[in-house]
Every structure is written in C-alpha cells, then in structure tokens.
C-alpha cells in the first residue's frame, strides 16, 4: 500500500506509466487498429503529406506511415522486453552466485563484469552484429548478452547485505541448503532494484534497436521499425518531414516513458533516493 501511495503521488511516474501502457496497448492491437497493411504499396500515393486518409502521410513507396508505426511499436517493445529479460536472468544468476559465495567465485565474476564494462556497450554490440546476420532475433540476443553487468552488480550488492541478516543465519542454523536460501529467502528480497534496472533497461534497448536499424544492421526491411523509418526519412527530409518527425517522436516518448516509470518505481521503493 505504501509503495502504491508513493508511486501514484508522483505525477511524472504516473505520466510514464500512462505512456508505457499506451504504447503497449498500441503494439498488441496494431493488427486491429492499423488502417492499412504496413507493407501495402500504393504508387499513386507516394510521399503524400498527412491527410484524413493517411494521418501520418505516406513514404517513398506509398506505404501508410501510421500503419507502419503501429506495427513498429510491437517490434521495438518486443526487442526491449526480450533483450532485458535475457540480461536480467544472466545478471541475477551471476550476481547471486558472486554475492552469496564470495571468495574466488566473486573475484572471477566481478573481473568479468569489469572487462565487459571496459568496452562501450553500443560499440561492442556493433562489433558482434558485424559478424552475424542482421535480424530481430540476433539483435535481442546480442543486446541481452551485453547488458547484464549492471543487474549483476546490483544483485551482488543486495546479496552481500542480506546474507548476513538474522533470518538468513537462522535458516542456516535450521539446516537450509544454499539453493533454498538463495532462491527462496534472499532473492525475493533483492529484486526491488532489479525491477528498476529492468524498466530503465527497456528504454535503453529500444534506443539501441532503433539506432542499429537506422544504421542498417538491425531489423531489416520490409519489417517496419522506427529506426528503419528514420533512416528512410533522412533521404527525403527536405520534402517529406513527416517520415522523420513521427518515428522520432515515438522513440522519444517511449524512452521518456520508461525512464519516468523506472525513476518513479525507484523513488516509491525508497523515498530516500529521490533527488
């Protein structure tokens, strides 16, 4: 109750939640609400400006921009959720092991984290993607495999604190095994910062996917993606401003929404962190 009260008293957090829910609903219902098929070509409607028939205009092939954006929402959010899911699972597993067992296990895992953090994430993703076939599945996997370090450090820090608490010492005294202590008693109490990190991570993953698609090494045409639409729009920016404006706004609002939501969750969990 206290969490809910603090969260809904934060107007920016509520705005973030509304934006996130709106884009989620749009992405799920795209096949039902899109006025046209995203790949439908109409040579008589090439680069038409926004109009009642095409509220967001058409692109260089006469495809409806609004329909492509609605389907693109699903692509971006799918990448975000799956990539963050992979990163979160890896981070929780490694962070829990490092924090609980300590010693040489902790040293090895933390040195691996340090090595991964030495490389800028985006350029590391670019390097890996360069050797793989560009596809939505490869993008999700690569983003997930290069984004787990922050979660691992958060979980490790929580485990280092919680494993010395009285209720954990009592469980050990009663003969509870390590796996039971880790997954039943410590991990549920260590997930609050992970939830915040995962929410913020979705925004980062959406931005990375859009950037890779913009560069031509992410999601490939004719699959609708906001990054691809931005890339196509820059070629005709002087005569078709709508091709860049609407996808750019969608990316901006999505990233902003998840950031506001993540910060709202963080402040609701621990008001002392509110800056």
Q: Is 77 exposed, middle or buried (0-12, 13-18, 19+ CB in 10 A)?
A: buried
Contact 76, 213 (CB under 8 A): no
Which residue from 5, 16, 2, 53 is spatially nearest to 199, judged by alpha carbons?
16
Instruction: Spell out the domain ranges in the chain.
Output: 2-273
Radius of gyration of the chain (CA): 22
Residue 47: per-residue pLDDT: 87
Give the pTM.
0.88
Residue 78 CA to residue 68 CA, distance in Å, equals 15
Residue 251: per-residue pLDDT: 93
Q: Say which DSSP state 64 is in.
A: B
Domain 2-273 part of CATH 1.10.3720.10: yes
275 residues of the chain, pLDDT tens digit each: 677 888 888 899 999 999 999 999 998 898 889 888 888 888 888 888 999 989 999 988 889 999 999 999 988 888 889 999 999 999 999 999 999 888 899 999 999 999 888 877 777 777 777 777 777 888 888 889 888 999 999 999 988 888 878 777 787 777 777 788 888 888 888 888 898 889 999 999 999 889 888 888 878 878 888 998 998 888 888 888 999 999 999 999 999 999 999 999 988 887 655 55
Residue 183 CA to residue 41 CA, distance in Å, equals 53
Residue 114 CA to residue 75 CA, distance in Å, equals 31
Q: Is the dihedral of CA 60, 232, 128, 92 positive or negative?
A: negative
Beta strands in the chain (DSSP E): none
Residue 152: per-residue pLDDT: 93
């Amino acid at each position: 109750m206290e969490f809910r009260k603090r969260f809904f008293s934060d107007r920016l957090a509520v705005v973030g939640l509304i934006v996130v829910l709106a884009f989620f609903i749009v992405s799920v219902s795209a096949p039902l609400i899109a006025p046209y098929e995203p790949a439908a070509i109409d040579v008589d409607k090439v680069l038409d400006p926004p109009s009642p028939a095409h509220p967001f205009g058409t692109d260089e092939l006469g495809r409806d921009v609004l329909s492509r954006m609605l389907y693109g929402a699903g692509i971006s959010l799918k990448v975000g959720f799956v990539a963050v899911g992979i990163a979160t699972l890896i981070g929780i597993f490694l962070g829990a092991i490092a924090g609980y067992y300590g010693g040489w296990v902790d040293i090895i895992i933390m040195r691996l984290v340090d090595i991964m953090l030495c490389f800028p994430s985006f350029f590391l993703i670019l390097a890996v993607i360069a050797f793989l076939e560009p596809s939505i599945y490869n993008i999700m996997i690569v983003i997930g495999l290069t984004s787990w370090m922050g979660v691992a450090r958060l979980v490790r820090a929580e485990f280092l604190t919680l494993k010395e608490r009285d209720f954990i010492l009592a469980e050990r005294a009663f003969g509870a095994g390590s796996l039971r202590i880790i997954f039943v008693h410590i991990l549920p109490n260590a997930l609050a910062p992970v939830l915040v990190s995962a929410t913020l991570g979705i925004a980062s993953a959406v931005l990375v996917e859009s950037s890779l698609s913009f560069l031509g090494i992410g999601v490939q045409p004719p699959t609708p993606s906001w990054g691809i639409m931005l890339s196509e729009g820059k070629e005709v920016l002087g005569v078709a401003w709508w091709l860049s404006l609407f996808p750019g706004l969608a990316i901006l609002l999505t990233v902003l929404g998840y950031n506001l939501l993540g910060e709202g969750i963080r402040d609701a969990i621990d008001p002392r962190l509110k800056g």
